Amino acid sequence: MCKGFGVIVDRGLNVWFSEQDYGGDCSHSTTLEHLGWEDNADPFLRYFVRVQFPDWTAASFEFDEEDTLPGWAEEHRQEIQKRCTKVLEKLAAARAEYEKLCAPARAEYDKLCAPAWAEYEKLCDAAWAEYNKVRAAAWAEYKKVCAPAGAELTQVFAAIPGYVGG
């Protein structure tokens, strides 16, 4: 999964990207889905590569599959970086404004949800403990009933030629 600003670059050095998700990442998978492209099957014979900027800065440029870059991507490494960075820079101001507006709203959301989440976890912990108590007793009863029948079944199996069990 891509972290930050993820783009797809094809053999023609076209740069493709999609909208960011709720967490602020532009996913390679979403972009491929929008393009209607299948994922690369062979790591060395690819018609596209994944690039990402994990922290949305030009300095964080990286190929997602650095160790298996196809020849055409190696050959055009600097041009790919230049084109991807140009797209990133076009988005930078709008994304900064988005973050400026959304950060306080997210903080308020987190503040309002925290007590409800804590209550949910408290209830879940108690429910999980009760489930485990019931499950343990039921499993013990199941094993008690099944053990003699299992032993008899194993004897029948063992009496048949070709049985290789224990």
> How large is the average pLDDT for residues 59-67?
90
pLDDT at position 21: 84
> How large is the average pLDDT for residues 17-30?
86
- Beta strand 62-63 pairing with 48-53: antiparallel
| Mean pLDDT value across the chain | 89
pLDDT digits (tens, 9 = 90+) for 147-166: 888 888 888 888 888 888 76
pLDDT over 70 (residue 1): no
Note whether residue 16 is domain-resident: yes
Note whether residue 93 is domain-resident: yes
The answer to whether 4 and 55 have CB atoms below 8 angstroms apart is yes
User: How many domains are there within the chain?
Assistant: 1
Note whether residue 89 is domain-resident: yes
> How large is the average pLDDT for residues 116-128?
92
Range of the domain at 70: 5-113
pLDDT at position 149: 86
